[in-house]
């Protein structure tokens, strides 16, 4: 689970901003808060981030996406990293490192992982294991030294891996690539646990709808008719590989390099479908996602994905995520930018309510999302510490604040009204008027 996440000198965030999912003394909805007795803390299973356009909401999402790619994929030799420091400050600050800090719960242990970075090198990197009232620094990469914990100083493979870590690469990433297991749980959290869904992205889990053997297939197809999209069934339809509208280079690459039993998703711009390709018994098998609707006579009629509305496509993208989060023993952490994009307010609220109904003291999944939907700004639905505001000041710098930090936000306060009146911040400052539209001075 994600406990805290901080960024500094990143995109619109000039000063350090911290997003915390450790529960406060708030009493509402306490029955759904996961508890960690070892550390005597509760962890929020959900958090909503509000704010005006360009206030910084999406930049939080982009920061998480940047870190995940840096940890999981790593870097290439002699390449710069796509760091985006705050541009509107002084030149001195623009040259300063961007900093990222995480506190994670992994297998009931808390780890603190942070690093500072400029375009061509990692300035500092640190991994700490929190031991209740104390902590154990596993390594602290600084000034070219690993500064290992005493228990790791005589670990020769670990020392060898550190010496082989390039300036533009995280030691965490390189150690795992060298098959060293010491820090793999932290790497696995970014690789396997953290899932990010952008507003215009095709969520990769759509392939679950193509595989009748997948454990979620039947459940998804039981739920999809209940969501008022007109779809009664989703399934995979096999199509000849040669008929795929893909570039010749990609076609050749798949024929030559795709291994037996391996499945890939195709994301070429020329494909306006959700398609996978698998090599089976030496042959390339292609499947695309199609939907079934009922006509006036109750007969199933096939629809191509390009014939579905944006809202239906968004439901198809999000439904597997909600089912995975809600599954027993799930440890998934989903971050969804613009969760309600193309979806009706009541539909997304029902999905969120269904997820929250599965949360308890023992659950370990989480959902973080950005939204403009003030109808979900409801204390009967979300706690004050589960609602956050991003706001941009006159200098273009973003800040981040939880409703629980406002002294006058009582548990009986109408948050929607206060928010829209501008008393909580996070709304656009619009200077446009009639004369502006008419071109008058």
From the centroid of its chain, how far is CA 300?
36
Instruction: With beta carbons less than 8 A apart as the criterion, state whether 111 and 104 touch.
Output: yes
Q: Which CATH number fits domain 1-202+312-441: 3.30.565, 1.20.120, 3.40.50, 1.10.3470?
A: 3.40.50
DSSP string, 183-204: THHHHHIIIIIEEEE-TT---G
pLDDT for residue 412: 57
| Segment-wise mean pLDDT, segments of 10 residues, the chain, 441 residues | 97 96 93 96 97 91 96 91 90 86 97 96 97 92 95 93 95 96 97 91 63 81 91 91 88 91 74 82 90 96 91 87 92 94 88 95 97 88 94 92 78 66 59 53 52
Domain boundaries, the chain: 1-202+312-441, 230-308
Helix axes 345-356, 310-326, angle to 10 degrees: 10
Instruction: With beta carbons less than 8 A apart as the criterion, state whether 127 and 158 touch.
Output: no
Instruction: With beta carbons less than 8 A apart as the criterion, state whether 4 and 22 touch.
Output: yes
Instruction: For residue 85, give the DSSP letter.
Output: -
In 3D space, the residue among 322, 302, 320, 314 whose CA is nearest the CA of residue 231 turns out to be: 302
CA–CA distance from 192 to each of 1, 185, 272, 332, 405 (Å)?
12, 10, 27, 8, 32
From the number of C-beta atoms within 10 Å of its C-beta (0-12, 13-18, 19+), residue 359 rates as buried
User: Rounded distance, CA 129 to CA 112, Å?
Assistant: 6
pLDDT in tens, 315-366: 888 888 999 999 999 999 999 999 988 888 889 999 999 999 999 999 999 9
* Helical ranges in 224-289 per DSSP H: 248-257
Instruction: With beta carbons less than 8 A apart as the criterion, state whether 409 and 417 touch.
Output: no
pLDDT for residue 430: 47
User: Rounded distance, CA 282 to CA 15, Å?
Assistant: 55
pLDDT for residue 262: 84
pLDDT for residue 195: 94
From the number of C-beta atoms within 10 Å of its C-beta (0-12, 13-18, 19+), residue 192 rates as exposed
């Amino acid at each position: 689970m994600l406990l805290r996440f901080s960024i500094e000198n990143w995109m619109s965030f000039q000063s350090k901003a911290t997003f915390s999912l450790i529960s406060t003394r708030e009493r509402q909805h306490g029955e759904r808060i996961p508890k960690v007795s070892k550390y005597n803390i509760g962890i929020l299973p959900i958090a909503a981030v509000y704010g005006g356009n360009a206030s910084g909401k999406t930049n939080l999402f982009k920061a998480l996406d940047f870190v995940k790619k840096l940890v999981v994929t790593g870097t290439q030799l002699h390449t710069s990293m796509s760091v985006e420091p705050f541009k509107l400050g002084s030149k001195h600050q623009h040259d300063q490192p961007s900093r990222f800090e995480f506190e994670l719960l992994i297998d009931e242990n808390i780890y603190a992982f942070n690093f500072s970075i400029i375009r061509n090198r990692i300035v500092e990197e640190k991994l700490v294991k929190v031991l209740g009232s104390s902590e154990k620094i596993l390594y602290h990469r600084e000034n070219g030294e690993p500064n290992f914990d005493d228990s790791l100083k005589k670990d020769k493979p670990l020392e060898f891996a550190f010496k082989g870590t390039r300036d533009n690469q995280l030691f965490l990433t390189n150690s795992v690539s060298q098959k060293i297991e010491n820090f793999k749980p932290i790497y696995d959290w970014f690789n396997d646990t953290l899932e990010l869904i952008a507003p215009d992205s095709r969520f990769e889990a759509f392939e679950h709808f193509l595989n009748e053997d997948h454990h979620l297939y039947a459940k998804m197809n039981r739920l999809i008719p209940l969501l008022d999209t007109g779809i009664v069934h989703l399934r995979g339809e096999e199509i000849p590989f040669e008929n795929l509208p893909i570039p010749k280079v990609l076609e050749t690459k798949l024929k030559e390099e795709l291994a037996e039993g391996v499945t890939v998703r195709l994301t070429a711009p020329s494909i306006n479908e959700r398609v996978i390709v698998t090599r089976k018994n030496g042959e390339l098998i292609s499947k695309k996602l199609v939907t079934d609707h009922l006509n006036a006579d109750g007969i199933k009629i096939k629809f191509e994905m390009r014939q579905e509305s944006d809202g239906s496509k968004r439901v198809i993208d999000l439904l597997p995520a909600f089912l995975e989060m809600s599954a027993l023993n799930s440890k998934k952490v989903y971050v969804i930018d613009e969760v309600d994009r193309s979806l009706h307010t009541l539909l997304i609220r029902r999905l969120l309510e269904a997820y929250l109904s599965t949360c308890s003291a023992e659950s370990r999944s989480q959902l973080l999302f950005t939204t403009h939907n003030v109808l979900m700004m409801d204390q009967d639905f979300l706690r004050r510490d589960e609602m956050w505001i991003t706001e941009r000041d006159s200098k273009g710098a973003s800040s981040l604040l939880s409703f629980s930090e406002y002294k006058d936000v009582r548990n009986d306060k109408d948050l929607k009204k206060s928010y829209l009146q501008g008393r909580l911040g996070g709304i656009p400052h619009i200077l446009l008027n009639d004369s502006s539209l008419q071109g008058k001075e």
